[in-house]
Amino acid sequence: MADYLRALVAALIGISFLFLLLLLRQRKKSRSYEKRLPPGEMGFPWIGETLDFYRALQKNTLFEDFIAPRIQTHGKTFKTRIMGSPTIVVNGAEANRFFLSNEFKLVVSSWPASAVQLMGVNSIMEKSGEQHRLVRSILTTCLGNTGLEALVPKICSVVKGHLDKNWGHCNQQDEKIISLYKTAKFLSFRVTCECLFEMGGEDEVLFECFEKVLEGVFSPVVHLPGTSFWRAKRARAVIEKVLLKLVREKRLKMMEEQTRSSSSLSLSLLSRLVGAMVRGEITEVEVVDNIVLLIFAAHDTSSFAIAMTFKMLSLNPHCYSLLLQEHNKIRSKKTKEGENLTMEDVTKMNYTWQVARESIRLFPPIFGSFRRAITDVNFDGFTIPKGWKVLWTAYGTHFSEEYFKDPMRFDPKRFEDPISPYVFVGFGGGPRVCAGYQLAKLNILIFVHLVVTRYDWSLVQPNETIVMDPLPFPSQGMPLKVSPKI
Ligand code: HEM
Protein backbone atom coordinates (compact mmCIF):
# COMPACT_ATOMS: atom_id res chain seq x y z
CA MET A 1 0.00 0.00 0.00
CA ALA A 2 2.83 2.38 1.03
CA ASP A 3 4.55 1.60 -2.28
CA TYR A 4 1.36 2.34 -4.11
CA LEU A 5 0.98 5.71 -2.33
CA ARG A 6 4.61 6.61 -3.00
CA ALA A 7 4.14 5.82 -6.69
CA LEU A 8 0.97 7.93 -6.81
CA VAL A 9 2.65 10.91 -5.13
CA ALA A 10 5.65 10.58 -7.47
CA ALA A 11 3.33 10.46 -10.50
CA LEU A 12 1.41 13.52 -9.27
CA ILE A 13 4.64 15.45 -8.69
CA GLY A 14 5.84 14.41 -12.14
CA ILE A 15 2.60 15.52 -13.83
CA SER A 16 2.58 18.85 -11.92
CA PHE A 17 6.19 19.43 -12.91
CA LEU A 18 5.41 18.74 -16.55
CA PHE A 19 2.36 21.01 -16.42
CA LEU A 20 4.47 23.78 -14.81
CA LEU A 21 7.11 23.38 -17.50
CA LEU A 22 4.47 23.64 -20.24
CA LEU A 23 2.96 26.71 -18.60
CA LEU A 24 6.37 28.38 -18.31
CA ARG A 25 7.14 27.58 -21.96
CA GLN A 26 3.79 28.97 -23.05
CA ARG A 27 4.35 32.14 -20.95
CA LYS A 28 7.85 32.55 -22.33
CA LYS A 29 6.54 32.07 -25.85
CA SER A 30 3.76 34.63 -25.44
CA ARG A 31 6.20 37.05 -23.74
CA SER A 32 8.63 36.63 -26.62
CA TYR A 33 5.70 37.30 -29.00
CA GLU A 34 4.80 40.36 -27.00
CA LYS A 35 8.32 41.66 -27.49
CA ARG A 36 8.17 41.08 -31.23
CA LEU A 37 4.51 41.92 -31.86
CA PRO A 38 3.95 45.14 -33.80
CA PRO A 39 2.85 48.16 -31.73
CA GLY A 40 -0.85 49.06 -31.55
CA GLU A 41 -3.93 48.93 -29.33
CA MET A 42 -5.90 45.73 -28.76
CA GLY A 43 -8.81 47.61 -27.12
CA PHE A 44 -11.38 45.80 -24.97
CA PRO A 45 -11.53 41.97 -24.90
CA TRP A 46 -13.22 40.51 -28.00
CA ILE A 47 -14.64 43.81 -29.23
CA GLY A 48 -11.21 45.46 -29.54
CA GLU A 49 -11.39 48.32 -32.04
CA THR A 50 -14.27 46.81 -34.05
CA LEU A 51 -16.59 49.78 -33.56
CA ASP A 52 -14.01 52.31 -34.79
CA PHE A 53 -13.26 50.01 -37.73
CA TYR A 54 -16.93 49.62 -38.76
CA ARG A 55 -17.76 53.30 -38.24
CA ALA A 56 -14.94 54.27 -40.60
CA LEU A 57 -15.83 51.51 -43.05
CA GLN A 58 -19.46 52.61 -43.34
CA LYS A 59 -18.46 56.19 -44.06
CA ASN A 60 -15.89 54.96 -46.59
CA THR A 61 -13.17 56.68 -44.56
CA LEU A 62 -11.30 53.57 -43.45
CA PHE A 63 -7.99 55.07 -44.48
CA GLU A 64 -8.50 58.60 -43.13
CA ASP A 65 -10.17 57.64 -39.82
CA PHE A 66 -8.75 54.23 -38.97
CA ILE A 67 -5.57 53.38 -40.85
CA ALA A 68 -3.74 56.72 -41.33
CA PRO A 69 -3.90 57.84 -37.63
CA ARG A 70 -2.56 54.45 -36.53
CA ILE A 71 0.21 54.50 -39.12
CA GLN A 72 1.17 57.91 -37.75
CA THR A 73 1.29 56.65 -34.15
CA HIS A 74 2.60 53.10 -34.59
CA GLY A 75 4.11 52.81 -38.08
CA LYS A 76 3.06 50.93 -41.23
CA THR A 77 2.61 47.59 -39.44
CA PHE A 78 0.35 47.71 -36.39
CA LYS A 79 -1.79 45.42 -34.28
CA THR A 80 -5.44 45.78 -33.38
CA ARG A 81 -8.41 43.54 -32.62
CA ILE A 82 -11.35 43.40 -35.03
CA MET A 83 -14.47 41.21 -34.65
CA GLY A 84 -12.83 39.16 -31.92
CA SER A 85 -9.68 38.42 -33.91
CA PRO A 86 -6.25 39.80 -33.08
CA THR A 87 -5.23 41.37 -36.37
CA ILE A 88 -2.10 42.90 -37.87
CA VAL A 89 -2.76 45.67 -40.39
CA VAL A 90 0.00 45.93 -42.99
CA ASN A 91 0.66 48.74 -45.46
CA GLY A 92 2.91 49.26 -48.45
CA ALA A 93 4.06 47.41 -51.58
CA GLU A 94 6.53 45.20 -49.69
CA ALA A 95 3.75 44.06 -47.31
CA ASN A 96 1.39 43.44 -50.25
CA ARG A 97 4.06 41.41 -52.04
CA PHE A 98 4.94 39.41 -48.94
CA PHE A 99 1.43 38.48 -47.84
CA LEU A 100 -0.24 38.13 -51.23
CA SER A 101 2.51 36.03 -52.77
CA ASN A 102 2.81 33.81 -49.68
CA GLU A 103 -0.83 32.71 -49.89
CA PHE A 104 -1.04 28.97 -49.00
CA LYS A 105 2.57 28.99 -47.68
CA LEU A 106 2.40 31.39 -44.71
CA VAL A 107 -1.15 32.72 -44.81
CA VAL A 108 -4.55 31.73 -46.18
CA SER A 109 -7.48 33.85 -47.23
CA SER A 110 -9.83 34.39 -44.29
CA TRP A 111 -13.35 35.71 -44.80
CA PRO A 112 -15.93 36.21 -42.02
CA ALA A 113 -18.07 33.12 -41.31
CA SER A 114 -21.19 34.87 -42.68
CA ALA A 115 -19.46 35.63 -46.03
CA VAL A 116 -18.21 32.05 -46.36
CA GLN A 117 -21.65 30.56 -45.69
CA LEU A 118 -23.42 32.94 -48.05
CA MET A 119 -20.90 33.04 -50.90
CA GLY A 120 -20.22 29.33 -50.73
CA VAL A 121 -18.30 27.02 -48.42
CA ASN A 122 -17.24 25.06 -51.51
CA SER A 123 -16.25 27.94 -53.76
CA ILE A 124 -12.74 28.85 -54.94
CA MET A 125 -12.34 31.38 -52.12
CA GLU A 126 -12.24 28.53 -49.59
CA LYS A 127 -9.97 26.25 -51.62
CA SER A 128 -6.25 25.87 -51.46
CA GLY A 129 -3.57 23.70 -53.11
CA GLU A 130 -4.58 21.34 -55.91
CA GLN A 131 -8.31 22.09 -55.63
CA HIS A 132 -7.69 25.83 -55.94
CA ARG A 133 -5.42 25.23 -58.92
CA LEU A 134 -8.06 23.11 -60.67
CA VAL A 135 -10.90 25.66 -60.42
CA ARG A 136 -8.49 28.49 -61.20
CA SER A 137 -7.40 26.77 -64.44
CA ILE A 138 -11.05 26.40 -65.53
CA LEU A 139 -11.62 30.11 -64.87
CA THR A 140 -8.40 31.16 -66.59
CA THR A 141 -9.31 29.26 -69.78
CA CYS A 142 -12.66 31.03 -69.98
CA LEU A 143 -11.78 34.42 -68.59
CA GLY A 144 -8.43 34.85 -70.32
CA ASN A 145 -8.05 37.01 -73.44
CA THR A 146 -8.78 34.26 -75.99
CA GLY A 147 -11.78 32.94 -74.08
CA LEU A 148 -13.26 36.42 -73.89
CA GLU A 149 -12.92 37.41 -77.53
CA ALA A 150 -16.20 35.73 -78.44
CA LEU A 151 -17.92 37.56 -75.60
CA VAL A 152 -17.33 41.07 -76.98
CA PRO A 153 -20.35 41.10 -79.38
CA LYS A 154 -22.50 39.36 -76.73
CA ILE A 155 -21.67 41.98 -74.10
CA CYS A 156 -22.35 44.74 -76.65
CA SER A 157 -25.80 43.30 -77.41
CA VAL A 158 -26.77 43.00 -73.74
CA VAL A 159 -25.65 46.57 -72.97
CA LYS A 160 -27.14 48.12 -76.14
CA GLY A 161 -30.47 46.34 -75.62
CA HIS A 162 -30.70 47.63 -72.05
CA LEU A 163 -29.70 51.20 -72.91
CA ASP A 164 -32.13 51.43 -75.85
CA LYS A 165 -34.97 50.20 -73.65
CA ASN A 166 -34.22 52.22 -70.51
CA TRP A 167 -32.11 55.26 -71.46
CA GLY A 168 -33.80 56.08 -74.74
CA HIS A 169 -33.05 55.41 -78.38
CA CYS A 170 -31.33 57.89 -80.71
CA ASN A 171 -34.67 58.73 -82.35
CA GLN A 172 -36.17 59.77 -79.00
CA GLN A 173 -35.02 63.18 -77.84
CA ASP A 174 -36.33 63.27 -74.29
CA GLU A 175 -34.05 63.74 -71.30
CA LYS A 176 -34.17 61.13 -68.54
CA ILE A 177 -32.83 60.73 -65.03
CA ILE A 178 -31.49 57.24 -64.43
CA SER A 179 -29.43 55.64 -61.67
CA LEU A 180 -26.04 54.92 -63.20
CA TYR A 181 -24.99 52.64 -60.36
CA LYS A 182 -28.15 50.50 -60.58
CA THR A 183 -27.89 50.30 -64.36
CA ALA A 184 -24.23 49.27 -64.18
CA LYS A 185 -24.97 46.74 -61.46
CA PHE A 186 -27.88 45.13 -63.27
CA LEU A 187 -25.94 45.06 -66.54
CA SER A 188 -22.80 43.53 -65.00
CA PHE A 189 -25.10 40.95 -63.41
CA ARG A 190 -26.79 40.16 -66.72
CA VAL A 191 -23.50 39.97 -68.60
CA THR A 192 -22.18 37.44 -66.07
CA CYS A 193 -25.40 35.39 -66.04
CA GLU A 194 -25.97 35.36 -69.79
CA CYS A 195 -22.44 35.33 -71.17
CA LEU A 196 -20.77 33.02 -68.66
CA PHE A 197 -23.60 30.85 -67.40
CA GLU A 198 -26.08 30.80 -70.32
CA MET A 199 -28.87 32.05 -68.05
CA GLY A 200 -31.74 34.26 -69.10
CA GLY A 201 -35.31 34.98 -68.18
CA GLU A 202 -34.98 34.69 -64.38
CA ASP A 203 -32.73 37.77 -64.28
CA GLU A 204 -34.83 40.15 -62.24
CA VAL A 205 -35.94 37.67 -59.56
CA LEU A 206 -32.40 36.34 -59.17
CA PHE A 207 -30.94 39.84 -59.08
CA GLU A 208 -33.16 40.72 -56.11
CA CYS A 209 -32.11 37.50 -54.35
CA PHE A 210 -28.43 38.39 -54.81
CA GLU A 211 -29.10 41.84 -53.36
CA LYS A 212 -30.65 40.21 -50.26
CA VAL A 213 -27.72 37.83 -49.86
CA LEU A 214 -25.28 40.74 -50.06
CA GLU A 215 -27.05 42.46 -47.16
CA GLY A 216 -26.17 39.53 -44.90
CA VAL A 217 -22.60 38.97 -46.03
CA PHE A 218 -20.91 40.79 -43.13
CA SER A 219 -23.70 40.34 -40.57
CA PRO A 220 -23.47 38.15 -37.43
CA VAL A 221 -24.29 34.49 -38.10
CA VAL A 222 -27.66 34.36 -36.31
CA HIS A 223 -30.15 31.77 -37.56
CA LEU A 224 -33.19 33.59 -36.17
CA PRO A 225 -36.14 34.80 -38.26
CA GLY A 226 -35.95 38.53 -38.92
CA THR A 227 -32.12 38.84 -38.82
CA SER A 228 -30.19 39.93 -41.93
CA PHE A 229 -28.32 36.65 -41.96
CA TRP A 230 -31.54 34.63 -41.88
CA ARG A 231 -33.02 36.67 -44.74
CA ALA A 232 -29.81 36.28 -46.71
CA LYS A 233 -29.79 32.51 -46.14
CA ARG A 234 -33.36 32.24 -47.44
CA ALA A 235 -32.49 34.24 -50.53
CA ARG A 236 -29.48 32.00 -51.08
CA ALA A 237 -31.73 28.94 -50.92
CA VAL A 238 -33.79 30.35 -53.82
CA ILE A 239 -30.61 31.01 -55.82
CA GLU A 240 -29.35 27.48 -55.12
CA LYS A 241 -32.60 25.96 -56.39
CA VAL A 242 -32.39 27.87 -59.68
CA LEU A 243 -28.70 27.03 -60.12
CA LEU A 244 -29.14 23.34 -59.31
CA LYS A 245 -31.77 23.11 -62.03
CA LEU A 246 -29.46 24.93 -64.46
CA VAL A 247 -26.51 22.65 -63.69
CA ARG A 248 -28.56 19.44 -63.96
CA GLU A 249 -30.14 20.49 -67.25
CA LYS A 250 -26.72 21.39 -68.61
CA ARG A 251 -25.34 18.04 -67.54
CA LEU A 252 -28.14 16.17 -69.34
CA LYS A 253 -27.65 18.27 -72.47
CA MET A 254 -23.92 17.66 -72.48
CA MET A 255 -24.45 13.90 -72.06
CA GLU A 256 -26.90 13.87 -74.99
CA GLU A 257 -24.54 15.87 -77.16
CA GLN A 258 -21.74 13.47 -76.31
CA THR A 259 -23.81 10.39 -77.16
CA ARG A 260 -24.75 11.96 -80.48
CA SER A 261 -20.99 12.61 -80.79
CA SER A 262 -21.73 16.24 -81.49
CA SER A 263 -18.68 18.44 -81.78
CA SER A 264 -20.62 21.58 -80.93
CA LEU A 265 -19.94 21.52 -77.20
CA SER A 266 -20.32 25.08 -76.06
CA LEU A 267 -17.30 26.53 -74.33
CA SER A 268 -19.07 28.68 -71.76
CA LEU A 269 -17.86 28.74 -68.19
CA LEU A 270 -20.96 26.76 -67.25
CA SER A 271 -20.01 24.00 -69.72
CA ARG A 272 -16.49 23.85 -68.40
CA LEU A 273 -17.57 23.64 -64.77
CA VAL A 274 -20.20 21.00 -65.54
CA GLY A 275 -17.65 19.16 -67.72
CA ALA A 276 -15.29 19.00 -64.73
CA MET A 277 -18.19 17.69 -62.66
CA VAL A 278 -18.98 14.96 -65.20
CA ARG A 279 -15.32 13.90 -65.13
CA GLY A 280 -15.54 13.68 -61.33
CA GLU A 281 -13.04 16.49 -60.74
CA ILE A 282 -15.47 18.68 -58.83
CA THR A 283 -18.83 18.05 -57.16
CA GLU A 284 -22.26 19.48 -57.93
CA VAL A 285 -22.22 21.71 -54.83
CA GLU A 286 -18.81 23.02 -55.86
CA VAL A 287 -20.20 24.00 -59.27
CA VAL A 288 -23.16 25.79 -57.67
CA ASP A 289 -21.03 27.55 -55.03
CA ASN A 290 -18.55 28.73 -57.63
CA ILE A 291 -21.33 30.15 -59.81
CA VAL A 292 -22.73 32.07 -56.81
CA LEU A 293 -19.28 33.40 -55.91
CA LEU A 294 -18.47 34.43 -59.47
CA ILE A 295 -21.73 36.31 -59.92
CA PHE A 296 -21.01 38.21 -56.70
CA ALA A 297 -17.35 38.81 -57.50
CA ALA A 298 -18.26 40.11 -60.94
CA HIS A 299 -21.20 42.44 -60.58
CA ASP A 300 -20.75 44.25 -57.27
CA THR A 301 -17.20 45.26 -58.14
CA SER A 302 -17.52 46.18 -61.84
CA SER A 303 -20.60 48.34 -61.19
CA PHE A 304 -18.81 50.46 -58.60
CA ALA A 305 -15.77 50.82 -60.87
CA ILE A 306 -18.06 52.00 -63.70
CA ALA A 307 -19.87 54.47 -61.43
CA MET A 308 -16.59 55.96 -60.15
CA THR A 309 -15.18 56.20 -63.68
CA PHE A 310 -18.13 58.36 -64.71
CA LYS A 311 -17.89 60.43 -61.53
CA MET A 312 -14.23 61.21 -62.17
CA LEU A 313 -14.88 61.98 -65.85
CA SER A 314 -17.57 64.41 -64.85
CA LEU A 315 -15.30 66.14 -62.33
CA ASN A 316 -12.39 66.29 -64.81
CA PRO A 317 -13.74 67.63 -68.14
CA HIS A 318 -10.31 67.73 -69.84
CA CYS A 319 -9.98 63.97 -69.20
CA TYR A 320 -13.46 63.47 -70.61
CA SER A 321 -12.63 65.25 -73.84
CA LEU A 322 -9.49 63.11 -74.29
CA LEU A 323 -11.53 59.97 -73.64
CA LEU A 324 -14.27 61.07 -76.03
CA GLN A 325 -11.71 61.54 -78.81
CA GLU A 326 -10.56 57.94 -78.31
CA HIS A 327 -14.11 56.59 -78.63
CA ASN A 328 -15.18 58.83 -81.52
CA LYS A 329 -12.14 57.60 -83.45
CA ILE A 330 -13.13 53.97 -82.87
CA ARG A 331 -16.72 54.69 -83.80
CA SER A 332 -15.78 56.57 -86.97
CA LYS A 333 -14.15 53.38 -88.33
CA LYS A 334 -17.48 51.53 -88.18
CA THR A 335 -19.22 51.54 -91.53
CA LYS A 336 -22.48 49.79 -90.72
CA GLU A 337 -25.16 51.29 -88.46
CA GLY A 338 -25.14 49.55 -85.06
CA GLU A 339 -21.99 47.53 -85.86
CA ASN A 340 -20.63 45.85 -82.74
CA LEU A 341 -17.22 46.39 -81.22
CA THR A 342 -14.48 43.80 -81.68
CA MET A 343 -11.66 42.79 -79.36
CA GLU A 344 -9.34 44.81 -81.60
CA ASP A 345 -11.41 47.96 -80.91
CA VAL A 346 -11.27 47.29 -77.18
CA THR A 347 -7.49 47.01 -77.25
CA LYS A 348 -7.39 50.57 -78.64
CA MET A 349 -9.10 52.00 -75.56
CA ASN A 350 -5.82 52.67 -73.77
CA TYR A 351 -6.67 56.05 -72.31
CA THR A 352 -10.08 54.83 -71.09
CA TRP A 353 -8.37 51.96 -69.26
CA GLN A 354 -6.01 54.48 -67.64
CA VAL A 355 -9.04 56.51 -66.50
CA ALA A 356 -10.75 53.39 -65.14
CA ARG A 357 -7.65 52.20 -63.25
CA GLU A 358 -7.08 55.65 -61.79
CA SER A 359 -10.73 55.65 -60.62
CA ILE A 360 -10.22 52.18 -59.08
CA ARG A 361 -7.02 53.43 -57.41
CA LEU A 362 -8.93 56.24 -55.69
CA PHE A 363 -12.12 54.23 -55.10
CA PRO A 364 -11.17 50.53 -54.83
CA PRO A 365 -14.29 48.34 -55.11
CA ILE A 366 -12.54 45.87 -52.76
CA PHE A 367 -10.61 47.84 -50.17
CA GLY A 368 -8.41 44.86 -49.21
CA SER A 369 -8.94 41.55 -47.50
CA PHE A 370 -8.07 39.40 -44.54
CA ARG A 371 -5.55 36.59 -44.38
CA ARG A 372 -4.88 34.16 -41.48
CA ALA A 373 -1.33 33.18 -40.47
CA ILE A 374 -1.00 29.37 -40.72
CA THR A 375 2.39 29.47 -39.00
CA ASP A 376 4.33 32.09 -37.01
CA VAL A 377 5.21 34.68 -39.64
CA ASN A 378 8.20 37.03 -39.45
CA PHE A 379 7.66 40.32 -41.22
CA ASP A 380 9.12 43.80 -40.88
CA GLY A 381 11.09 42.78 -37.74
CA PHE A 382 7.93 41.51 -36.00
CA THR A 383 6.41 38.07 -35.44
CA ILE A 384 2.78 37.49 -36.35
CA PRO A 385 1.63 34.52 -34.24
CA LYS A 386 -0.01 31.54 -35.95
CA GLY A 387 -3.81 32.02 -36.05
CA TRP A 388 -3.71 35.83 -36.07
CA LYS A 389 -5.31 37.70 -38.93
CA VAL A 390 -3.55 39.99 -41.36
CA LEU A 391 -5.38 42.81 -43.14
CA TRP A 392 -3.80 44.25 -46.31
CA THR A 393 -5.53 47.18 -47.93
CA ALA A 394 -5.29 48.87 -51.30
CA TYR A 395 -5.14 52.23 -49.46
CA GLY A 396 -1.72 51.34 -48.00
CA THR A 397 -0.16 51.96 -51.42
CA HIS A 398 -2.86 53.75 -53.45
CA PHE A 399 -3.06 56.68 -51.01
CA SER A 400 0.64 56.88 -50.20
CA GLU A 401 2.94 59.65 -51.42
CA GLU A 402 5.71 57.01 -51.43
CA TYR A 403 4.15 55.34 -54.48
CA PHE A 404 1.93 57.98 -56.11
CA LYS A 405 2.93 61.64 -56.27
CA ASP A 406 0.12 63.84 -54.92
CA PRO A 407 -1.89 60.65 -54.31
CA MET A 408 -5.37 62.15 -53.91
CA ARG A 409 -5.20 63.93 -57.30
CA PHE A 410 -7.01 62.27 -60.22
CA ASP A 411 -4.38 61.77 -62.91
CA PRO A 412 -4.97 58.88 -65.36
CA LYS A 413 -1.59 59.53 -67.02
CA ARG A 414 0.07 57.85 -64.03
CA PHE A 415 -0.85 54.60 -65.76
CA GLU A 416 0.92 55.51 -69.02
CA ASP A 417 4.07 53.76 -67.79
CA PRO A 418 4.02 50.38 -66.09
CA ILE A 419 3.41 50.56 -62.33
CA SER A 420 5.73 48.51 -60.09
CA PRO A 421 4.29 45.18 -58.90
CA TYR A 422 2.10 45.22 -55.78
CA VAL A 423 1.69 49.01 -55.88
CA PHE A 424 -1.63 49.12 -57.74
CA VAL A 425 -3.54 46.31 -56.04
CA GLY A 426 -7.14 47.10 -57.01
CA PHE A 427 -7.30 43.56 -58.40
CA GLY A 428 -5.20 41.98 -55.66
CA GLY A 429 -2.04 39.99 -56.38
CA GLY A 430 -0.34 36.60 -56.00
CA PRO A 431 -2.16 33.27 -56.45
CA ARG A 432 -5.51 34.90 -55.60
CA VAL A 433 -5.18 37.82 -58.00
CA CYS A 434 -8.60 38.63 -59.50
CA ALA A 435 -9.61 35.80 -61.83
CA GLY A 436 -12.00 38.10 -63.70
CA TYR A 437 -9.63 41.00 -64.38
CA GLN A 438 -9.98 40.73 -68.16
CA LEU A 439 -13.77 40.40 -68.05
CA ALA A 440 -14.01 43.40 -65.69
CA LYS A 441 -11.88 45.38 -68.15
CA LEU A 442 -14.15 44.40 -71.07
CA ASN A 443 -17.31 45.23 -69.12
CA ILE A 444 -16.06 48.66 -68.14
CA LEU A 445 -14.63 49.62 -71.54
CA ILE A 446 -17.63 48.42 -73.57
CA PHE A 447 -20.07 50.15 -71.22
CA VAL A 448 -18.13 53.44 -71.34
CA HIS A 449 -17.93 53.28 -75.16
CA LEU A 450 -21.64 52.65 -75.65
CA VAL A 451 -22.63 55.42 -73.23
CA VAL A 452 -20.25 58.18 -74.31
CA THR A 453 -20.81 57.64 -78.04
CA ARG A 454 -24.59 57.44 -77.76
CA TYR A 455 -25.59 59.79 -74.93
CA ASP A 456 -25.00 63.24 -73.52
CA TRP A 457 -24.89 62.87 -69.78
CA SER A 458 -24.24 64.79 -66.58
CA LEU A 459 -24.19 63.98 -62.87
CA VAL A 460 -27.25 65.18 -60.95
CA GLN A 461 -25.37 65.24 -57.62
CA PRO A 462 -21.65 65.77 -58.22
CA ASN A 463 -20.97 65.73 -54.44
CA GLU A 464 -22.83 62.53 -53.70
CA THR A 465 -21.22 60.62 -50.83
CA ILE A 466 -19.89 57.07 -51.05
CA VAL A 467 -20.93 54.67 -48.29
CA MET A 468 -20.14 51.02 -47.61
CA ASP A 469 -22.52 48.19 -46.73
CA PRO A 470 -20.53 45.97 -46.98
CA LEU A 471 -19.10 47.07 -50.35
CA PRO A 472 -18.81 50.71 -51.41
CA PHE A 473 -21.61 52.38 -53.39
CA PRO A 474 -22.83 55.91 -54.16
CA SER A 475 -25.41 56.76 -51.47
CA GLN A 476 -28.05 58.01 -53.94
CA GLY A 477 -27.37 55.44 -56.70
CA MET A 478 -25.60 58.12 -58.78
CA PRO A 479 -28.45 59.78 -60.67
CA LEU A 480 -27.45 60.78 -64.17
CA LYS A 481 -29.25 63.10 -66.57
CA VAL A 482 -29.09 61.43 -69.99
CA SER A 483 -30.33 62.23 -73.47
CA PRO A 484 -29.56 60.36 -76.71
CA LYS A 485 -27.06 62.09 -79.02
CA ILE A 486 -28.50 63.17 -82.31
C1 HEM B 1 -13.62 46.10 -61.24
C2 HEM B 1 -13.92 44.85 -61.00
C3 HEM B 1 -13.20 43.94 -60.06
C4 HEM B 1 -12.36 44.23 -59.02
C5 HEM B 1 -11.90 45.60 -58.55
C6 HEM B 1 -11.95 42.96 -58.43
C7 HEM B 1 -11.07 42.85 -57.37
C8 HEM B 1 -10.62 41.64 -56.85
C9 HEM B 1 -9.66 41.52 -55.78
C10 HEM B 1 -8.99 42.67 -55.04
C11 HEM B 1 -9.47 40.19 -55.56
C12 HEM B 1 -8.49 39.56 -54.57
C13 HEM B 1 -9.15 39.28 -53.23
C14 HEM B 1 -8.17 38.71 -52.23
O15 HEM B 1 -6.95 38.73 -52.43
O16 HEM B 1 -8.65 38.25 -51.19
C17 HEM B 1 -10.33 39.47 -56.48
C18 HEM B 1 -10.43 38.09 -56.53
C19 HEM B 1 -11.31 37.43 -57.36
N20 HEM B 1 -12.08 37.97 -58.36
FE21 HEM B 1 -12.24 39.94 -58.81
N22 HEM B 1 -12.56 41.94 -59.12
C23 HEM B 1 -13.32 42.48 -60.12
C24 HEM B 1 -14.08 41.79 -61.06
C25 HEM B 1 -14.19 40.43 -61.12
C26 HEM B 1 -14.94 39.70 -62.13
C27 HEM B 1 -15.66 40.33 -63.32
C28 HEM B 1 -14.84 38.37 -61.80
C29 HEM B 1 -15.39 37.14 -62.50
C30 HEM B 1 -16.18 37.03 -63.45
C31 HEM B 1 -14.01 38.26 -60.62
C32 HEM B 1 -13.66 37.07 -60.01
C33 HEM B 1 -12.79 36.97 -58.96
C34 HEM B 1 -12.46 35.69 -58.32
C35 HEM B 1 -13.02 34.32 -58.69
C36 HEM B 1 -11.53 35.98 -57.31
C37 HEM B 1 -10.90 34.99 -56.34
C38 HEM B 1 -9.71 34.34 -56.98
C39 HEM B 1 -9.07 33.27 -56.11
O40 HEM B 1 -9.44 33.12 -54.94
O41 HEM B 1 -8.20 32.59 -56.66
N42 HEM B 1 -13.64 39.53 -60.25
N43 HEM B 1 -11.02 40.38 -57.27
Quick one: 12 and 61 in the same domain? no
What are 381-407's pLDDT values in tens digits? 999 999 999 999 999 999 999 999 999
Quick one: 44 and 21 in the same domain? no
In a domain, 269, yes or no: no
- Tell me the residue range of the domain where 3 lies: 1-28
User: What is the model's pTM?
Assistant: 0.91
Q: For residue 127, which atom of ligand 1 is closest to its CA?
A: 40
In a domain, 41, yes or no: yes
What is the residue with the minimal CA distance to atom 3 of ligand 1?
A: 301
Quick one: 53 and 83 in the same domain? yes
In a domain, 254, yes or no: no
Q: Which DSSP string do the residues of 128-174 spell out, in sequence order?
A: -HHHHHHHHHHHHHHHSHHHHHTHHHHHHHHHHHHHHHHT--TT---
Quick one: 388 and 413 in the same domain? yes
Quick one: 43 and 24 in the same domain? no
What are 283-301's pLDDT values in tens digits? 999 999 999 999 999 988 9
Quick one: 21 and 81 in the same domain? no
Quick one: 111 and 71 in the same domain? yes
Q: What are phi and psi of 95, to 5 degrees?
A: -65, -45
Instruction: Calculate ∠ Cα 319-327-360, nearest 5°.
Output: 50
**What's the total number of domains in the chain?**
2
**Strand, helix or coil for residue 80:** strand
Closest CA to 58 of 475, 477, 396, 358: 475
State how far the Cα of 476 lies from the Cα of 302, in Å rounded to an integer.
18
In a domain, 11, yes or no: yes
What are 182-213's pLDDT values in tens digits? 999 999 999 999 999 999 866 778 999 999 99
Ligand 1 pocket at CB < 6 A:
109, 124-125, 136, 192, 294, 297-298, 301-302, 305, 360, 365-366, 369, 426-428, 432, 434-436, 439-440
User: Which residue among 102, 142, 301 is best mutated to probe the pocket of ligand 1, counting the most ligand atoms within 8 A of its Cβ?
Assistant: 301
**397 Cα distance to chain centroid:** 18
State yes or no: 434 annotated in a binding site: yes
Bridge partners for 329 per DSSP: none
Q: For residue 365, which atom of ligand 1 is closest to its CA?
A: 5
- Residue 205 CA, ligand 1 centroid: distance in Å: 24
In a domain, 143, yes or no: no
More confident residue, 4 or 216: 216
What is the residue with the minimal CA distance to atom 28 of ligand 1?
A: 436
Q: Region 162-174: what's the mean pLDDT?
A: 81
In a domain, 16, yes or no: yes
Instruction: Calculate ∠ Cα 205-209-214, nearest 5°.
Output: 150
In a domain, 381, yes or no: yes
Give me the chain's average pLDDT, please.
91
- Residue 305 CA, ligand 1 centroid: distance in Å: 13
Q: What are phi and psi of 97, to 5 degrees?
A: -60, -50
Quick one: 63 and 103 in the same domain? yes
In a domain, 266, yes or no: no
State how far the Cα of 221 lies from the Cα of 229, in Å rounded to an integer.
6
Per-residue pLDDT at 9: 61
Quick one: 22 and 58 in the same domain? no
Residue 50, domain CATH = 3.30.43.20
Q: For residue 293, which atom of ligand 1 is closest to its CA?
A: 35
